[in-house]
Amino acid sequence: MNCDVNSVNLRIGYFCNNNCSYCMIDENKKKLLKQDKPIFLTFDKIKLQLNDLIKKKLKSITLTGGEPTIRDDFFEILYFLKQNNFVVELETNGRMFADTTFAKKTINIFPDLYFEISLLSTIPESHDMLTRVSNSWKQTTTGIKNLIKLGVTEFNIIVVITKQNYKDIKNIPQYLKSLGDVKWTIGYTFPMIQGNAKLHSVLIIPKYEQIQKYLFESIKNALNLGINFNLFNMPFCVIEDYIKYSVEFNNNLAHTDLLLYELEDSISTWNKERINSKIKCISCKSCKYFRLCEGVWNRYIKMYGVDELVPIKGKQINTLL
Ligand code: SF4
């Protein structure tokens, strides 16, 4: 399928001040270290990549790591992006914004920066257990509050659902509302089982059937509060009433794709990476959504088998519209 690239994920390094037990990037980082390759991009290399994107007329990027905000040259990078009119979403754990001076400087340089911040629970201990850094919940939520005070009006909040936090996710919409009356979008995300998530899979990866009830409750709460949401990495038979909120479904329907710049040695596309890591089972062939659904992670099937994938009855369809 031909897809238009509409955005770019620019990974600028693997350093992070959290050490999340579900983090998927650790595998790549270890591979680079083994090959004696650098695990971060210098500012000069970042500029080269950004100039390449300018030539390709790609101006919408997600700045990701690791944690981009802990770099010494974070503000220089931001300044360069602003000077060159990039539309930027910053993928961050938000902790650095607990420092008011840091938050102010960021907003001064890039007032219309989009923020994608991971918040795993309304319970500090659960969040900190997953990030494996004490006080990280406090810093992340203080960071969000500071950004709201500085005029940020829109946040994407990423909630990675694990065995440690799934029962609390129903409380997240209400908690976000209590932080401020801004435009919230919640990205409910099932972990990609690689890196740390693979290493700790038995401890952290829940079964879909385990989380389903709590996820639906959280979705209903979000809808009642006027909060947007989307769903990542979930097979359609698990989220049947909410398929239209699936990110993969919408990307496939719109034929859009994301370029992944993984430091300097690889440029790939997210659709290909994702689909290569997923699988459907034989009975999926009788499912109404067989042509649209991507199935589940290969490693999930290895852990839990295929019993939960119950084909949805009906004539096979190509679109929901
Ligand atoms: S194709 Fe398979 S995984 Fe996808 S919704 Fe149907 S039964 Fe579930």
Rounded to whole angstroms, how far apart are CA atoms 23 and 120? 13
| 104-140 residue pLDDT tens | 999 999 999 999 999 999 999 999 999 999 999 999 9
- Residue 51 phi/psi, 5-degree rounding, is -65, -35
* pLDDT(321) > 60: no
pLDDT at 1 over 70: no
308 Cα to the center of ligand 1, angstroms: 9
pLDDT confidence of residue 287: 95
User: Domain residues of the chain, as ranges?
Assistant: 4-276
2 pLDDT higher than 70:
no
Ligand 1 centroid from CA 237, angstroms: 5
Q: What is the structure's pLDDT at 6?
A: 77
Supply the residue whose CA is at minimum distance from atom 2 of ligand 1: 284
- pLDDT given for residue 265 in this prediction: 65
Q: What is the pLDDT of residues 29-51, one digit of tens each?
A: 888 888 888 889 999 999 999 99
As for ligand 1, residues whose beta carbon falls within 6 Å of it are 235-237, 280, 284, 287, 289-290, 293, 295, 309, 311-312
Query: 258-310 pLDDT, tens per residue?
Result: 777 777 667 777 778 788 889 999 999 999 999 889 899 999 999 999 999 99
Query: What is the position in ligand 1's atom list of the atom closest to the CA of 296?
Result: 3
The one-letter amino acid code at 128 reads D
Q: Which atom of ligand 1 is nearest to the CA of 236?
A: 5
CATH number for the 4-276 domain, one of 3.40.50.1820, 3.50.50.60, 1.10.3720.10, 3.20.20.70?
3.20.20.70
When mean pLDDT is compared across 2-6, 23-27, 45-49, 230-234, the lowest value belongs to 2-6
